[in-house]
Amino acid sequence: MKYFALVPAGGGGSRMGSDCPKQYLPLAGQPLIRHTLNALAAVPVIARVFVVLAPDDSQWDGFDWRDFESRLTVLRCGGATRAESVTQGLRAMREQVEADDWVLVHDAARVCLTRAHVEKLIAEVGADAVGGLLAVPVADTLKRVQDRSSDGVRVAATVSREGLWQAQTPQMFRYGLLAEALEYAPSVTDEASAIEALGLHPRLVAADASNLKVTYPLDLQLAEWILQNRSG
């Protein structure tokens, strides 16, 4: 049994408002995705990191990735959605993994991931029959909105946050089970949802808010602050 990481990085990051795909935006002197790969490659138990790029990606080769050479495989098979990229990445790595091997799917834009985050996930999920994911309990008050009207967005109701967790990545499942789940439920927004569609219940592993996803321009500034001020 081995551990592999799969990083879907085929999107453009339109919500960043940049012509440059989000994964290549500069962050603390490096392309954003390098911070993600650094964190995954720092975990000794991960045998290989697979990065799924869009087939027409022209920017990856403009950077020097030689320090990852022995741990990294690039798969140019990304799809139109995150789920498609993960599914096609799983298909492309089929010959290098076994059905019972663990696959940790991680968002390229969660750049503040640490080795400690990953090792906690592996320690708590490695013996689980289903698999699991990093997540944090929802702390804020949640509002459901009415349909947008001419006078703006208004609250329809307050939603109880009791029992609600915010999903993060990595999300860690057996290769065979994950491939089956994504074929069964191809329109999900994360891997855990596909596993849930099979009637299974992934384990939640408590993480923290520093494992944020860079989605908007302000997130980039916050991520840089975390990376530059993190101790250790």
Instruction: Give domain 3-137+167-229's CATH superfamily.
Output: Spore Coat Polysaccharide Biosynthesis Protein SpsA; Chain A (3.90.550.10)
Quick check: bond before 8 cis, omega within 30?
no
Q: What is the enclosing helix (H) or strand (E) of 86? A: helix 82-92
DSSP β-ladder status, 132-137 and 203-206: parallel
Other residues' Cβ atoms within 10 Å of the Cβ of residue 147: 7
Cβ density class 196-216: b for 16+ within 10 Å, e for less? beeeeebbbbebeebbbebee
Closest by CA position to 18, among listed 59, 62, 77: 59
Residue 72 three-state SS: strand
Other residues' Cβ atoms within 10 Å of the Cβ of residue 173: 28
CA-to-CA distance for 58 and 36, rounded, in angstroms? 20
Ranges of residues in the chain with a pLDDT under 70 are 12-18, 231-232
Please report the pLDDT score of residue 18 as a whole number.
63
Please report the pLDDT score of residue 15 as a whole number.
56
Closest by CA position to 53, among listed 93, 85, 21: 85
Please report the pLDDT score of residue 148 as a whole number.
73
Please report the pLDDT score of residue 164 as a whole number.
97
Please state the separation of Cα 182 from the chain's center in Å.
Answer: 15
Closest by CA position to 187, among listed 52, 78, 75, 82: 82
Closest by CA position to 53, among listed 62, 43, 45: 62
In which residue are the tokens 């968002």 written?
107
pTM: 0.94
